[in-house]
Amino acid sequence: MMGKFITFEGGDGVGKTTQATLLANALKTLGLKVKITREPGGNVIGEKIRNLMKSSSPSDMDPLCEALLMFAARRDHFVKLIKPLINKGYFVVCDRFYDSSLVYQGVLKKIAFEDIMALKKITIGDFEPDLTIILDVDSDVSIERLSTRKLILDEYDLMKKNEHDLIRKGFQKTAEIFSFRSVIVNAAGSEQKIFAKIMKIVQKRLLDILPSG
Ligand code: TYD
């Protein structure tokens, strides 16, 4: 049986990593084969590209260069890890995927939607997540979460409120464009309350079709 690919998207500080981890653990306790991963990163090449990106000042990096790096990392991640695991029946839970490129390199850095989609087509073809959970919360809440969570904030974390707002709107837009796979989840409130909503969505969309036993 083919596995499933579930992505978490949303701005910085919305709680993607926490919720992706809770979901991966819950799926494991159901006896499913599960792999949690992230972008940029997830494998050797991807993590190197992540470090390169995180260690460069965002203003130093040309936006198209940044987009190409993201898709280079994604290509490697996809062919070496994501696709083989799905073929082996794994539920792969990924913290960010190409919607993040549409929002960060597209909306924020002004690369045309069509250009990002062209890179997507070259690198991963028609592949799409089975489900994308978009965590959505007021920018003041995500900024507050970021400031209490990390001792050292990198430049990507130190965005101004108007950038957080743009990113939030960008993900609301990807939810509309890719409505066949996207669900927006209000990410205000306790971790457990948010997770209960996510689990319900996953049950309804993906687990109902699992053969019993
Ligand atoms: P994130 O995974 O939230 O990392 P951390 O837990 O270290 O905050 O974010 C990594 C950063 O990479 C985030 O600011 C968004 C950015 N990013 C892009 O710009 N484009 C992409 O395609 C992806 C996947 C991430």
Question: In this structure, which residue's CA is closest to atom 1 in ligand 1?
Answer: 12
pLDDT tens, position by position, for the chain (213 residues)? 799 999 999 999 899 999 999 999 999 999 999 999 999 999 999 999 999 998 988 778 999 999 999 999 999 999 999 999 999 999 999 999 999 999 999 999 999 999 999 999 999 999 999 999 999 999 999 888 888 876 666 666 667 889 999 999 999 999 999 999 999 999 999 999 999 999 999 999 998 755 544
Residue 200 lies in a domain: yes
In a domain, 122, yes or no: yes
- The number of distinct structural domains making up the chain is 1
7 C-beta closer than 6 A to ligand 1: no
210 in any annotated domain: no
pTM: 0.94
| pLDDT at 213 (0 to 100) | 44
Domain that holds residue 146: 4-204
Chain Cα centroid distance, residue 190: 20
For a mutational test of ligand 1's pocket, the pick from 36, 71, 96, 103, i.e. the residue with the most ligand atoms closer than 8 A to its C-beta, is 96
Q: Let me know if residue 191 belongs to a domain.
A: yes
Q: Is the residue at 129 inside a domain?
A: yes
CATH for 174: 3.40.50.300
Query: For ligand 1, is residue 107 a contact (CB within 6 Å)?
Result: no
Pocket test for ligand 1, best of 100, 113, 116 (most atoms within 8 A of CB): 100
User: Does an H or E element contain 124, and which?
Assistant: helix 113-124
Q: Which atom of ligand 1 is nearest to the CA of 101?
A: 22
Tell me how far apart the alpha carbons of residues 140 and 191 are, in angstroms, rounded to a whole number.
Answer: 17
Take atom 20 of ligand 1 and give the residue whose Cα is closest.
101
The closest residue, in CA terms, to atom 17 on ligand 1 is: 100
CA of 152 to the centre of ligand 1 (A): 16
Helix, strand, coil shares, percent, the chain, to 5 = 55, 15, 30
Asked if residue 74 is part of any domain, the answer here is yes
Within a domain: 213: no
Which atom of ligand 1 lies at the shortest distance from residue 17's CA? 6
* Residue 110, CA atoms < 13 Å, CB-side half-sphere: 1
Question: Has residue 192 been placed in a domain?
Answer: yes
